[in-house]
Chains A and B, each alone.
Chain A
Amino acid sequence: MAEFLLPKLGADMSRGRLVEWVKKPGERIARGEVIAVIETDKANVEVEAFESGTLEKVLVEPGDEWLPVGTPLAVIGAAGAEAPAPSAGEKPARKPEAAVPAAAKPAPEAPRVPAVPPPKPKPPSKAPPPHAPAVPAPRAAEGTRLPASPVARRRAAELGVDLATLRGTGPDGRIVLADVESVAGAAVAKRPAGRPAPAAPLTAAEKAQEKRARMREAIAAAMARSKREIPHYYLGTTIDLTRAMAWLASYNAERPVTERMLYGVLLLKAVAAALREYPELNGFWTEGRAQLADSVHLGVAISLRGGGLVAPALHDADKLALPELMRRLQDLVTRARASSLRSSEMTDATVTVTSLGERGVEAVYGVIYPPQLALVGFGKVVTRPWVADGEVAPREVVTATLSADHRASDGHRGALFLDAVDRLLQEPEKL
């Protein structure tokens, strides 16, 4: 007994229609004889029997119904069908019993043809996206999504900055990375080059914590890390600025107000030039060793109106002429306060310079901004009695301090650096 199954008659056939039974129940069938006519998507095909025997029963009547390949159509009984004598005719006349494996009578399993998968239910059009953003997207009044770049969103989530509080400076007001980082300010450390590991999904606790996190926390983290990891040493010296201030006065006297220079620019240039002589103070501590920087990008500490501070980079400060340095500094301060710093400015500084002179402080002993190697501080310029050429005279002086990473440099080199700053400031016209 064998079932006669709806055969697969072509690569793309998954179904067929029974058009006609050529054989009737009770009739003898020889292997190779046409037993039925099947309609495929292409044509009507006469189907031959693979078994000799008797058509015992038809299971399906001809009709319009499409049947999947493998559907049992009839039962063919052995009915004592005799194997004819061996012959080598073109139609095989003999079916050796041993050659009828179980495989020839497959269970009516699902057809192997790649059936068309059932259409996936469409998600409701208003359904939320499958992955909610790590930080709920801030929404403007009418519920529209705030335009922000992917990296700005990611960094805002990392720093706990609420995007809704930012004003985007990118094209069409898009919030970009610099907008986030300028608010986060000093918290932003130089990231190592290369792709950072993707952030792990946030747990609920972390999300709650993140909401509390604000710039203060970011600063706290950076400064705590600095004090925890960096063995600071501190040096200070008082520098006679009389010549420099006199030179500056004459320089400014010849120029309109808009082109006048601040004395701070002289200090910055002197620091940058001195760093070229003492490169072990310029760079980063990463992966257990000092990576000295090829360029001098001065991070200039700028306090923000709302509190906190940023230290964006003045790129290649050692190579810039004084007027250009002045222009860049002004631009940087303006943009820092307008929250429109560039990402490279936020991440590139190789050393930081801070001055609290305007606030009346005479000496600054700063905390290094990791992973940098040093921080240079200036107090306010004051007039002091000073011994020069054996005589006491009033001179304008400033106290310069160095906070440096003892892993990367020693006090001796630090002292020479401060001495170089002093020396350079004695010849302001050469700066």
Chain B
Amino acid sequence: MAKLTYREAVRAAMREAMAADPRVFLMGEDVGRHGGAFAVSMGLLEEFGPERIRDTPLMESTFVGAGIGAAVGGMRPIVEVMTINFSLLALDQIVNTAAALRHMSGGQFSVPLVVRMASGGGRGLAAQHSHSLEGWFAHVPGIKVATPATVADAKGLLLAALADPDPVLVFEHATLYPLEGEDADDTPMALGRAAVRRAGEDVTLVAYGASVHKALAAAAALAAEEISAEVLDLRTLRPLDVEAIVSSVARTHRAVVVDEMWRTGSFAGEVAATIMEQAFDELDAPVARVASAEVPMPYAKPLEDAALPSAEQIAAAARALF
């Protein structure tokens, strides 16, 4: 299997989808001439032309809303929102229209829309470009939320999102774009399936997005201490693979949930509550959470590092369960 970067994998999925289906097009800020703020769509304008690679003015709400309308009108739009923080300008369209339309029309209209955005911290971009709010969106029935952590998933989950008849938001953790890995094989991926990234016996580390890699590092450290940690990558937050979470915890009896959201109201809380509800009698210790510190993202590196979950924090949280 060929090696490529996460960024190239996202681009490959878009190129593949656009080549296969004339209804697919990309719009967003600077996706054409500039090739995308994270260079994800580099070269696509030259390949597919300005009708299908559309640079929009700065109007998140309206270009997301237009994506919804275009989806209902028979197209398969991919809308790129530059970062997750900017998506808040489009929150109305995502929550009040994309998520609700099918239900409030009594099932008459589906919205096959894909919205991609960069999320997460760790790049010195401070308090308006660095957050993880995926759980806010995962709160909303009617939309689906994918958080690819690997190169193969960056491609496979985006293709799955494009094949889905309902609105799917794809959160690409910005620190992962340069990540190298193996390409996805040709098997179509399904939304709603978690994956065990490392098998273990003593504790389950539940994570998604970039946190998966931190959890893997923590698991390696724990192995040296004879604590065998399993790393479960959620891959999609909605639908959530509850069965995978419960079955892992039923084997290990302990869980640490890792999340880059702020701790209060984090998606980790949802996972912890699910474990408590569905696997209470399997628990040998309280479910632990490792999440971001309760502070808007600071700029200075030592502070930003301290604000984000780290492999050391994850390992320490796991250790404290024994």
Binding site for B on A (CB under 8 A): 149-154, 170-171, 174, 176-177, 193-196, 198, 342-344, 348
Say whether B201 faces chain A, with CB atoms less than 8 Å apart: yes
Across the interface, name the chain B residue whose C-beta is closest to A148.
Answer: B284
Q: Is the CB of B322 within 8 A of A170?
A: yes
- Contact partner of A195 among B279, B283, B322, CB < 8 A? B279
B285 touches A (CB below 8 Å) = yes
Asked if B284 contacts A198 (CB within 8 A), the reply is: no
Complex interface: chain B residues within 8 A of A151 (CB): 253, 281-284
Cβ contact within 8 Å between A195 and B284? no
Partner of B285, one of A149, A193, A194, A348: A149
Interface membership of B251, Cβ < 8 A:
yes
Known A-B contacts: A149-B283, A153-B281, A170-B322. Give 18 more (CB < 8 A): A149-B284, A149-B285, A150-B280, A150-B283, A151-B282, A151-B284, A152-B284, A154-B281, A170-B285, A171-B322, A193-B251, A194-B250, A195-B246, A195-B250, A198-B281, A342-B202, A343-B284, A344-B228
- Secondary structure at chain B's binding surface: helix, strand, loop or mixed? loop
| Number of cross-chain contacts by CB at 8 Å | 50
- Check A176–B247 contact: CB distance below 8 A: no
Q: Does B89 contact A (CB under 8 A)?
A: no
Sort A-B residue pairs by CB-CB distance and give the 7 closest, nearest first: A344-B201, A195-B250, A149-B284, A154-B281, A150-B283, A177-B284, A176-B284
Determine the distance from Cα of A194 to Cα of B280 in the docked complex, in whole angstroms.
15
A176: which B residues are within 8 A, CB to CB? 284-285
Looking at chain A's contact residues, the main secondary structure is: loop
Q: CB distance A174 to B285 under 8 Å? A: yes
Total chain B interface residues with beta-carbon distance under 8 A: 18
B319 — nearest CB in chain A belongs to which residue? A171
Residues of A with C-beta under 8 A to B250 = 194-196
Q: How far is the CA of A307 from the CA of B246 in the complex (A)?
A: 36
The contact sample of 17 A-B pairs, CB cut-off 8 A, is A149-B253, A149-B283, A149-B285, A151-B282, A153-B281, A170-B322, A171-B285, A171-B320, A171-B322, A176-B285, A177-B253, A194-B250, A195-B246, A195-B247, A195-B250, A195-B282, A342-B202
Per-residue A-contact encoding for B277-296, CB less than 8 Å = 1, 0 else: 00111111100000000000
Docked complex Cα distance between A149 and B284 (Å) = 5
* CB 8 Å contact bits of B224-250 with A (1 = contact, 0 = none): 000010000000000000000011001
Q: How far is the CB of B281 from chain A (nearest CB, A)?
A: 4
Give the shortest distance, in Å, between B242 (CB) and chain A (any CB).
11
Residues from 36 to 70 in B contacting A, C-beta threshold 8 Å: none
